[in-house]
Structure 1
Amino acid sequence: MNVAFVAPVIWLISTDRLFNPDFVNRWEWLSRPENLNNVATFVIVGAVLIVGWGIIDSSIKAYRNRH
């Protein structure tokens, strides 16, 4: 389920479709391409880390329950 959630988020943010253009234009600092790229990178890395942590945590718990 985690991968099914994060895959579309990564695709949307990497193709500049996650944020509404009106929202981006409202914030002066976000409308600069380098800042928008930084936000996109932060969102991608954060999403991957959170999903990775969830997968690892679930795997450890499943392993401990078997033994």
Structure 2
Amino acid sequence: MMQAGGQGDMRYGSALTVEVDVIRVVLIACQQGGFARVMVEFDSLIAIQMVKRERLVDAEVDGVIFDI
């Protein structure tokens, strides 16, 4: 992600926050790159279930999930 313009000085409270934020950052980069459709493969079942609304969203990632 650093090569794509990511920041290395970000502080997160949990691994879940990092995982969800990575999805958001990648989708923003794809949108800016002009991609109309994007398939995201991810290994965090909890994050995937939250994005798909199959699981209650944790308060700490609610805003990021909304962006996604």
Compute the TM-score of the two structures, normalised by the length of structure 2. Answer: 0.38
From the two aligned structures, give the one with the greater helix fraction.
Answer: 1
Q: TM-score, normalised by structure 1?
A: 0.39
